[in-house]
Amino acid sequence: MPDATVAGEVSEPQFAALVDAIAADPARRGQLAGLLREDHAIYAGRGTTAIARMRGWILLAMARAGVPDAALVFVLEELDSGTERRLRGSTSTGVEIHLGPAVAIFFFNDMDFGRPANCYLLEKAARRLDPFLPVIEKLAVDGASPLVATLTLNMLEVVPQPHHLSLLIKALAAWLDAYSVDRAFWVDQGIGRRGCILIDAIRKQEPAAILSQTNLRGALDHILAALVTLGVPEARRLELELAKL
């Protein structure tokens, strides 16, 4: 395996193998935090999309092996740098151009200019995201924006899971606070429809998941009522289904 610090000498498959080898060795696992740094020499000369894929592979390796404390601190510092504050409430495509690829990493999305963002996780990997959910929830809530909403839903739609319900409802509530009367956000961009379909998928899997979330049920009812007013037909259908529980 080539030296991981030499730019341009490591292909993406080689990098993935290197990351897996480090993650498998408890004595070396802490090195993953250093590899996450955007200014690491290994990323020199690579495109934004390639860097996003490579850093995403590191995050997946952390999820499989157990996230080193240093890595969590790094990720949280990245979020606290002001990214979420610059995103919140934005409708500017300029925000997506400058911050999109970096933000997409946290949601395991590929994002290249001229193409819609896409979550590259397969089902098996998507079921291993629990260590990252607190970080993802922080950005989804504090960084409310069309970009973050799209990335969040892309990720959650891979495998709708009952224990994601809390994150989803909190995110929808934050997005509603930021875009309370914005039909372009909820209807034209499909955020309302996609959110309702996700909640309904969880309802069908495990109705008790919604019944047990008594602290969130009020928030969910408020969200659905607002989406009905905004003209999201899936919200009314979901209201009727939840009324049967």
- To the question of pTM greater than 0.85 for the whole model, the response is no
pLDDT in tens, the chain (245 residues): 444 444 457 888 899 899 989 988 988 887 887 887 778 888 888 887 778 778 777 877 776 676 555 555 555 455 445 445 555 655 554 545 445 666 777 788 887 766 788 998 889 888 888 878 887 888 899 888 898 999 999 999 999 999 999 999 999 999 999 999 999 999 999 999 999 999 999 999 998 888 766 778 889 999 999 999 999 999 999 999 999 88
Mind giving me the DSSP string for 98-137?
HHHHHHHHHTTEE--TTS--EE---HHHHTT-GGGHHHHH
Q: Which two tokens stand for residue 4?
A: 């991981």
Mind giving me the DSSP string for 179-234?
STT-HIIIIIT-HHHHHHHHHHHHHHH-HHHHHH-HHHHHHHHHHHHHHHHHT-HH
Instruction: Say which amino acid occupies 209.
Output: A
Residue found by looking up tokens 């934050």 in the block: 174
CB-count exposure of residue 235 (10 Å: 0-12, 13-18, 19+):
buried
Q: Pick left, alpha or beta for residue 13 (phi over 0 → left; psi -120 to 50 → alpha; otherwise beta).
A: alpha
Q: For residue 111, what are the contacts with CB-CB under 8 A and spacing of at least 6? A: 49, 52, 100, 101, 104, 117, 118, 151
Q: Do 117 and 104 form a contact (C-beta atoms < 8 A)?
A: yes
Dist. CA 21–CA 120, nearest whole Å = 21
